[in-house]
Amino acid sequence: MTALTRRQILAGGFGLASLGALAACSSGSSMGDMPGMGGATTSSASTGHAMGAIPTATPLTPKPGQKVVTATLRPRPVTLDLGGIHANTWAYTDELGTAPFRASAGDLLRITVDNQLPSDTSVHWHGIRVRNVADGVPGVTQQPIAKGARYLYEFEAPDAGTYFFHPHTGVQIDRGLYAPLVIDDPKDKGGYDAEWVVVLDDWTDGIPGGKNPDTILADFQAKTGPISTGMNHDMSGMDHGMASPLGDAGDIAYPHYLINGRIPAAPRTFTAKPGQKVRIRFINAGSDTIFKVALGGHTMTVTHSDGYAVQPQDTKALYIAMGERYDVLVTLADGAFPLAAAPEGKKGTPALAVVRTGAGTAPTPSTPVSELAGAALVGTSLTAADAAKLSSKDPARTVDVQLNGQMKPYAWGINGKKFGEDTPMQVREGERLRMRMTNMTMMAHPMHIHGHTWALPASGGLRKDTVLVLPMQTVEADLQADNPGTWMYHCHNIYHAELGMMTSLRYA
């Protein structure tokens, strides 16, 4: 493994292991014969900087009438066919993005992880308000799942929406270790004819000319140093990028950008009939890439952000940062159209899928997508739907959160500190806490909170668990402290998180 420090490995390192197979029943009533609590056998002696005792996962008993959804995940070494390019990597599944795991709001999920990786791993259920013991943060909410060990995650999924899951171990998320997770709303009347899940990713692992994510991380760590804590306007480290209205949007020039595990030269095709209305669930599973997304020839109506309903807003193009999810509705025209995701501020070929409702030549990677040439919607310009609003309440307290760092030396942190030297945020159960995040850097950072979904007062109460904070921008985000535990708060650029842009929120 790389130059990861012992503390990072043991205390909440994000790093990923690898992905394996999702041998899952995707809904319903299967259940039954899963083995019980697996439990890693790793010693828990060192948990880093006073993260407190690791909680014990007490078994959950289904409530009367509660459906139980059971599955087994097998993170494992695999060879993925990215469309003629074969990647020797780690994954949960043999294809990326194509088979969402599903349950319904209120279900009890029992997911056994059978770790077939040559490494520790963990699984974080990104965006879901799980109980703390199921949050998947090694050294904080559980012991790492050792290689060869099994571990049972049991939690209720309280809120419908579009989610995904990935390891919270090292930079494993930058391999193929992710999969979509859709929590259906039993009361949702739908109102659309088809639903597509579109997972975006930046790819480097296990291919000719691609670097292993652990090597990328080690290279960054070799260039790290102190964090500058003032406003940092140094752009000199950004030597592979292109101008972006988001500032510096990413650090790494990836060899490929993928939609549902395919390079643009070998795109997946979604089919429907002209005039049909389709719900597209977008998930950015990338590690260092903000995507600008459009469906050529169409207007998208954004209906949900990070699982929660928004007041519908039309747009030609949409920015989706790492860890963010957006649902859109589109009424399809007649023909063949490019669904394209351009890596913002980077030179690579946009990720591509084909939408086909009729005759016509399929778009190729060189088909122009005029919608990508103009402005794009940024999530914070959305407003919460009434039904998604948090109850109105003044925050009891405001905590200031400065996002610090720079490219040279490559160092990132929060309130001037790298994770490990950080001072965790405190909250009392029942409190409304306002986090006032100020980005002091020239990069955009998608900041992610575990176990809660913020309400953004300046965005009409917009609910987000991952919010993109632009260079020099301040974003206020309120949370209702209704889920006790120790919860990570970090940048969802995995390299920033691993280099130190991470802290925690603890209930007193």
Among residues 132, 439, 493, 503, the one that binds Cu ion under rule CB under 5 A: 493
- State which residue, 217 or 332, has the beta carbon closest to Cu ion: 217
CB of 405 to Cu ion, least distance (A): 7
Number of residues counted as binding Cu ion (CB under 5 A): 4
* Dist. CA 322–CA 399, nearest whole Å: 24
CB of 491 to Cu ion, least distance (A): 3
Give yes or no for residue 289 binding Cu ion (CB under 5 A): no
Least separation, in Å, of the C-beta of 446 and Cu ion? Answer: 7
- Residue (237 or 460) nearer to Cu ion, CB: 237
- In the complex, what is the shortest distance from the CB of residue 105 to Cu ion, in angstroms, rounded to a whole number? 31
Q: Cα–Cα distance between 238 and 359 in angstroms, integer?
A: 43
- Closest separation in Å from C-beta 504 to Cu ion: 17
User: Least CB distance from residue 447 to Cu ion, whole Å?
Assistant: 8
Beta strand residue intervals within 146-193, DSSP E? 150-156, 161-166, 179-184
User: CB–CB of 485/130 below 8 Å?
Assistant: no
Q: Which is nearer to Cu ion, 124 or 496 (CB)?
A: 496
Q: Which is nearer to Cu ion, 325 or 496 (CB)?
A: 496
Judged by CB under 5 A, the stretch of 66-74, 196-204, 240-248, 493-501 that binds Cu ion is 493-501
CB-based burial, 130-156: b 16+ in 10 Å, e otherwise: bbbbbbbbbbbbbbbbbbebbbbbbbb
Question: Does residue 496 bind Cu ion (CB under 5 A)?
Answer: yes
Give the interface segment with Cu ion, choosing from 132-140, 153-161, 280-288, 496-504 (CB under 5 A).
496-504
- In the complex with Cu ion, which residue's Cβ is closer, 455 or 497? 497
> Of the ranges 141-149, 225-233, 388-396, 495-503, which one interacts with Cu ion (CB under 5 A)?
495-503
- The per-type count for the chain, helices as H runs and strands as E runs, is 3, 31
What is the SS3 assignment for 330-344? EECCCCEEEEEEEEC
Nearer to Cu ion, 369 or 468 (CB): 468
**Best CA proximity match to 231, nearest among 474, 473, 441:** 441
Nearer to Cu ion, 256 or 445 (CB): 445
CB of 41 to Cu ion, least distance (A): 34
Tell me, residue by residue from 429 to 448, as one string, x for binding to Cu ion by CB under 5 A and - for no binding: ----------------x---
Q: What angle do CA 221, 446, 106 make, to 5 degrees?
A: 120
What is the full DSSP assignment across 383-423? -B-GGGPPPP---SEEEEEEEEEETTTTEEEETTB-TTS--
Give the angle subtended at the CA of 118 by the CAs of 132 and 123, to the nearest 5°: 20
18-57 residues near Cu ion, rule: CB under 5 A: none
**Cβ closer to Cu ion: 145 or 491?**
491
Q: Is 418 in the site for Cu ion (CB under 5 A)?
A: no
Minimum separation from the CB atom of position 443 to Cu ion (A): 6
At 216, phi and psi to the nearest 5? -60, -45
Q: Please report how close the Cβ of residue 386 comes to Cu ion at its closest, in angstroms.
A: 32
d(C-alpha 413, C-alpha 408), whole Å = 14
Q: ∠ CA(105), CA(107), CA(109), 5° rounding?
A: 120
Q: Return the number of the residue (93 or 287) whose C-beta is nearest Cu ion.
A: 287
Does residue 295 contact residue 196 with C-beta atoms inside 8 Å? no
- CA gap 349, 255 in Å, rounded: 9
Residue 172 neighbours by CB distance under 10 Å: 31
Q: How far is the CB of 496 from Cu ion (least distance, A)?
A: 3
**Smallest distance from the beta carbon of 473 to Cu ion, in angstroms?**
13
Closer of 156 and 251 to Cu ion (Cβ): 251
Residue with tokens 């949007």: 249
State which residue, 97 or 405, has the beta carbon closest to Cu ion.
405
Structure tokens at 256: 């490929």
Q: What is the dihedral of CA 242, 247, 253, 254, to 10 degrees?
A: -120
Write out the binding residues for Cu ion, residues 463-492 only, by CB under 5 A.
491
Q: What residues line the site for Cu ion (CB under 5 A)?
A: 445, 491, 493, 496
